[in-house]
Structure 1
Amino acid sequence: MEAYTEAQQASAEIVRQANEEKARVAELYTQEMMARRKLHNKLMELQGNIRVFCRVRPIQPVELKSEQSALAVFFRDNDHESLDLFVGSEAGDKANQIGQKHAFEFDHVFQPNSTQEQVFEQTRALVVSALDGFNVCIFAYGQTGSGKTHTMEGPENDRGVNFRALRELFSIRDDRMAGGNFECSMKLSILEVYNETIVDLLEGGGRTISGASPAVAKGLDVRVGKNGVYVENLIEVEVFNEGDVLDLMRLGHSHRSVGSHDFNEHSSRSHLVLSIKIETGIKSDGRRRTSKLHLIDLAGSERVSKTAASGQRLKEAQNINRSLSALGDVIAALGANSKHVPYRNSKLTFLLQDSLSGNSKVLMFVNVSPVQWNAWETLCSLNFASRCRSVALGQAKAATATATGGSQGNGMQATMSMSAMIPSNSGSGRPVAPGSRPVPSR
């Protein structure tokens, strides 16, 4: 009996040691994998690769109440850079079975419980580099209803990347200006690309949610000047604080083109581009430099048949898909190091030419749904994001400082003051309602 007990104890000790060794090897593997990723990410940064953050939205209440709640996206323990997508053979048709597995790695993966603050914390350093003279472009891509606008704009009580980025810029600007030798001015513009027409949202722009839209003017033109791509006659407003930004964002949002279809009741029907032109200088040497920060909420990629779009909504969807396809063609050409990159095949890619042709830091949010109902669209979005991440644009360089007095722009934008854009109501200092704001004249 004693020998049996000793044998049992010896066996238990062997099992314990084996489990400890298994855990040690697993930990070593995890450490090696993380180290490899860090080296790979550093190499990509040096090469100027497009960085990609993936954000998975929570399951919606309407999905929980229907047959559309089967999960397609799964996460690995203690891993914030990868996810697995399982696409059922009938995905998109109320599938509940688990199908083929697709593994993806990105620079960061935000799970459904991630907060707006956590998302921005990973974005902060990129935003700050705009104050250091770098051009920066951040854009959100994904199907309709995947959370792009929530990530970029967010509700009033839980702001997204746009407002948090500008608030951070003002905070750092104030800290630097406190030293007395730093100067900085910022000008904001907001436009949309709607049905291949560029509309200035600070001048009135848009269309209504329902019904036929009023006649849309031919829109603004994209030009190439000595300082790169610009939009002719686009209004730029100098902003001084967070309040200015909020007022202009509300004004622009009130003019944005939105519509409804079966998939998303108030889906945006245009690409929104919020841009900040930043001019900084050091008083002691009189030299200045100009950089740009582009914050872009792309319209939703979608299958027309799935959204039940018709009439005007169908035309909008076709134009959206065409411009996103053009973006895909540009990414493919860049990835293949093609001598010709078809930037001018759409207004969207023409606008993004400076950002995608090098000398810019670029971050893409790919927003996706977690459920099987949307698994095919999720797969398309993640595949496109992976292709974007493999594109090396070349390491970005800060803008060269120039002597004060040199031309810093293309001279074809219309600069407006905050008082002209959003007048006070009876001297109260509060902005009037969006509907009563006058359209500024140039």
Structure 2
Amino acid sequence: MAAKVKVSARLRPFVNNETSDDAVIVNPEEGTISISNPRPGATDRFKFSFTSCYDQSATQEEIFMRDVQPLIEHAFNGLVCTVFAYGVTSSGKTHTIQGNVSEPGIIPRVVKAILERKHLMDQGSVSIAVSYMEIYKDDVYDLLVARENAPKLPIREDMNGKIFVANLSEKSIGSFQEFDRIYSHACKSRSTGSTNLNRASSRSHALLTLTVTKLDVSANKVLIGKVNLVDLAGSENNKLTGNDPSRMAESSAINKSLTVLGQVVHALNTGASRIPYRDSKLTRILQDALGGSSIGLLICNLAPGVKFRQDTLNTLNFATRTKQIENRPVVNERDTRPAAKPHFAAAAPARAPLGPRQSAAHARISMGGAGTGSHIPKLNGFGYNPASARPSLGGQFAPSAPPKPDPLENLEEKITKAVQQEVERRLAERETQERQRIDELERLERERTAELERQAEEQRAALMKKHDELNKLLKKTLRKAEKENQRVSEGDSLEAKVLSPKTAKRIAMSYVSLGRAYLTTKQPDYSEALSYWQKAEGYVPDNKALKKRIAELQIAIREGIPFRMLKSARTSHSVDSPSVASPSGSRDHKESQRLRLRHRKASAKAKGELVQTPSPSKKKRDAAKQQKEDVFLDSDEEMEAACDEESSKERATSEMLA
């Protein structure tokens, strides 16, 4: 018989620091709750109807008597009942489930009701046991065991498809005082924490199970009923709770499990092919209460006020979807009658085949001794054989008929032979299939290799074709570049002839600057610098400084020495005096002498011997040392000076003509 999950809603009162408003209104008589639309500027209200609704004045006893008390009778009849409280944090779930000393909650009231019902029945036929666990960060812990020794418990499924928590301890109780002692000690181990919304916020889902075992002697069966009381942790908005990093991790695990719970409810309502029970430990444990074989009761705890309006609306939407779930309660009973013994015929051992000697003896008894020539009928087995007394055509008594072969004789040998033949046939068939599979794989490998070779050949041919085309294009480009360079060189020389001296010198200065740029990089390019300086020489063929610098750069390229070192040697030779040189034993003096000798040889080979300058004073030596630090203070400055002199002469000539 199908039974839908019942849903009750309870609105808690306003606390001291909250402002009263009419955002949530409860009508207990009609069983409806209305909530204002949270959209800005909206004036309409949403209305929800449930099995029962409780306003802020409802008491714990009223809720228990109306919704929870009827479930106890089902537990004594062998059914499983599940009550779980759902709602946002600080909505009063723990108060509804546990309560306090002055206002006991559902758990102590259920225990008292079960124990009172037990006392009205035969004491020896009913037993009560309790277990208590929590789901903290999606791990299951036993609260009846000391927390420092409590391991993580796995969730299992028995052969009948029932979900249970392995190694969960269970304690028998006979009085409420005994239960209160166990329960109070276990509640101290539950994970709680303080947030901005709740001083003692539950950081885990707690599940208390009361198992009622009832022995029915007259019917020879045992009924096992259960009452599951679940206190779910509340969904949290971290903007309001002000959680620290540790609380954030707990909040993430809580919200994830509640999200999976909503997904399970949605999948059950839409008839999905897969229900995500296994995505969370909470839904895995509550699987029996959500679309399973138990009776379910959902108590939605609501927080009043505009502050929690959106969370209240989400809770009511979840409750609306949950009340559409249908469960199929099943009575859990176990037969206590002893198992029936098997029939003696079924338990009799099989007849053993006769051996060779027994078969021969049996044959001699059956023949009745006819081989000895006696005409007296013999006993065959346990009686007289009339066939032995029947006369033959010759007037003699015919011997008795041979016995029928025993069908069980050599049966084991025949079975063994048949099995061997079948095994050989199957092995041969498997070998043939394996050979065919190997041949097919080899064929596919050959085809794949041939295809790869063909593709490689096509790619090789395409690359060769492209290479030939690129070679032709490169040769054509080189020929074109050679012609262009030749034309440019001829044009430059022609242009240098027709330009004025001033313009030609400025163009030469530009080429010198470009060449110098290639020498100031981290990796100087002497060839490019030489090409630009040679172009500059075409515009100023009479500039001796530029010619000298070109000759030195050619020497540096030919002999593979740094141009900077060669220039330093030249500068030292032209500025420093032998009379003020460093001591002969110093390393700098030796290096200077070597560079001077190398520079003399290079200069003599290119343009002749350089002229030695007279020994300067200390002031001149400092000026020469400062001049050595500038690597390229030569042709471009001389050319600038020459250009300035040329300009001044032209201006003077113009003034005289004027």
- Indicate the TM-score class for this superposition, using the shorter chain for normalisation: 0.7 to 0.9
Counterpart pick for 1:70 among 21, 36, 39: 21
Q: Specify whether residues 278 and 200 from structure 1 end up closer, same or farther in structure 2 by C-alpha distance, changes over 3 A only.
A: same
Partners of 1:302 and 1:377 within 8 A in 2 = no
Q: What fraction of aligned residue pairs are identical, expressed as a percent?
A: 30
Q: Is 1:56 matched up with 2:11?
A: yes
1:191 is matched by which residue type in structure 2? M
| Structure 2 gaps, min length 5 | 340-658
| Structure 1 gaps, min length 5 | 1-45, 91-96, 207-215, 407-442
SS in 2 for 1:367: strand
Q: Is 1:190 matched up with 2:124?
A: no
Aligned equivalent of 1:171: 116
Q: Is 1:221 matched up with 2:171?
A: no
Q: Specify whether residues 255 and 303 from structure 1 end up closer, same or farther in structure 2 by C-alpha distance, changes over 3 A only.
A: same
Q: Deviations over 1:273-320 (max 9, x none)?
A: 001122111123431121221100000112122211121100000000
Q: Is 1:113 matched up with 2:63?
A: no
Counterpart pick for 1:377 among 301, 308, 311: 311
The whole-number CA distance in structure 2 between the counterparts of 1:335 and 1:88 is 26
Query: After alignment, is 151-160 or 283-292 more displaced?
Result: 283-292
Counterpart pick for 2:102 among 157, 164, 167: 157
The whole-number CA distance in structure 1 between the counterparts of 2:11 and 2:26 is 10
The whole-number CA distance in structure 2 between the counterparts of 1:194 and 1:358 is 24
The whole-number CA distance in structure 1 between the counterparts of 2:326 and 2:216 is 32
SS in 2 for 1:89: coil
Q: Is 1:137 matched up with 2:82?
A: yes
1:378 is matched by which residue type in structure 2? T
SS in 1 for 2:333: coil
Shift, 1:80, TM fit: 4.5
Aligned equivalent of 2:71: 126
The whole-number CA distance in structure 2 between the counterparts of 1:83 and 1:282 is 45
Q: Is 1:86 matched up with 2:36?
A: yes
The whole-number CA distance in structure 2 between the counterparts of 1:70 and 1:56 is 13
Partners of 2:11 and 2:26 within 8 A in 1 = no
The whole-number CA distance in structure 2 between the counterparts of 1:336 and 1:186 is 38
Aligned equivalent of 1:281: 215
The whole-number CA distance in structure 2 between the counterparts of 1:316 and 1:382 is 24
Shift, 1:98, TM fit: 7.6
Partners of 2:289 and 2:327 within 8 A in 1 = no
Partners of 1:131 and 1:280 within 8 A in 2 = yes
Highest RCO, 1 vs 2 (Cα 8 Å, sep ≥ 6): 1
Shift, 1:374, TM fit: 0.6
2:165 is matched by which residue type in structure 1? V
Shift, 1:355, TM fit: 2.1
Shift, 1:71, TM fit: 2.7
Alignment of 1:302-341 (within 5 A): 302-341=236-275
Counterpart pick for 2:47 among 103, 110, 117: 103
1:399 is matched by which residue type in structure 2? N
Partners of 2:83 and 2:298 within 8 A in 1 = yes
Partners of 2:156 and 2:164 within 8 A in 1 = yes
RMSD: 2.0
Shift, 1:404, TM fit: 5.7
Counterpart pick for 2:141 among 199, 223, 232: 199
Partners of 2:291 and 2:325 within 8 A in 1 = no
The whole-number CA distance in structure 2 between the counterparts of 1:239 and 1:307 is 39
Partners of 2:142 and 2:150 within 8 A in 1 = no
Partners of 1:143 and 1:378 within 8 A in 2 = yes
The whole-number CA distance in structure 2 between the counterparts of 1:281 and 1:399 is 12
The whole-number CA distance in structure 2 between the counterparts of 1:278 and 1:159 is 22
Q: Deviations over 1:198-227 (max 9, x none)?
A: 111110228xxxxxxxxx976111111135
Q: Deviations over 1:352-376 (max 9, x none)?
A: 1122232210000000012111100
The whole-number CA distance in structure 2 between the counterparts of 1:120 and 1:404 is 38
Shift, 1:62, TM fit: 1.6
Partners of 1:69 and 1:372 within 8 A in 2 = no
Q: Specify whether residues 240 and 309 from structure 1 end up closer, same or farther in structure 2 by C-alpha distance, changes over 3 A only.
A: same
Partners of 2:131 and 2:171 within 8 A in 1 = yes
1:120 is matched by which residue type in structure 2? F
Shift, 1:398, TM fit: 2.0
TM-score, scaled to structure 2: 0.49
2:104 is matched by which residue type in structure 1? R
The whole-number CA distance in structure 1 between the counterparts of 2:270 and 2:178 is 43
SS in 2 for 1:356: coil
Pair member with larger Rg: 2
Partners of 1:51 and 1:363 within 8 A in 2 = yes
The whole-number CA distance in structure 2 between the counterparts of 1:218 and 1:117 is 37
1:195 is matched by which residue type in structure 2? K
The whole-number CA distance in structure 2 between the counterparts of 1:339 and 1:60 is 45
Between structures 1 and 2, the one with greater strand share: 1
Q: Specify whether residues 217 and 176 from structure 1 end up closer, same or farther in structure 2 by C-alpha distance, changes over 3 A only.
A: closer
Shift, 1:400, TM fit: 3.2
Shift, 1:230, TM fit: 1.0
2:135 is matched by which residue type in structure 1? V
The whole-number CA distance in structure 1 between the counterparts of 2:223 and 2:5 is 24
Shift, 1:177, TM fit: 1.9
Partners of 1:80 and 1:110 within 8 A in 2 = no
The whole-number CA distance in structure 2 between the counterparts of 1:323 and 1:127 is 28
Q: Specify whether residues 98 and 267 from structure 1 end up closer, same or farther in structure 2 by C-alpha distance, changes over 3 A only.
A: farther
Alignment of 1:215-364 (within 5 A): 219-227=152-160, 228-364=162-298
Counterpart pick for 1:398 among 311, 315, 331: 331
The whole-number CA distance in structure 2 between the counterparts of 1:334 and 1:405 is 41
The whole-number CA distance in structure 2 between the counterparts of 1:272 and 1:69 is 31
SS in 1 for 2:326: coil
1:197 is matched by which residue type in structure 2? D
Partners of 1:88 and 1:100 within 8 A in 2 = no
Shift, 1:397, TM fit: 2.8
Shift, 1:382, TM fit: 0.6
The whole-number CA distance in structure 2 between the counterparts of 1:298 and 1:145 is 12
SS in 2 for 1:133: coil
Q: Specify whether residues 200 and 115 from structure 1 end up closer, same or farther in structure 2 by C-alpha distance, changes over 3 A only.
A: same
TM-score, scaled to structure 1: 0.73
SS in 1 for 2:289: helix
Aligned equivalent of 1:433: none
SS in 2 for 1:398: coil
The whole-number CA distance in structure 1 between the counterparts of 2:337 and 2:36 is 57
Aligned equivalent of 2:349: none
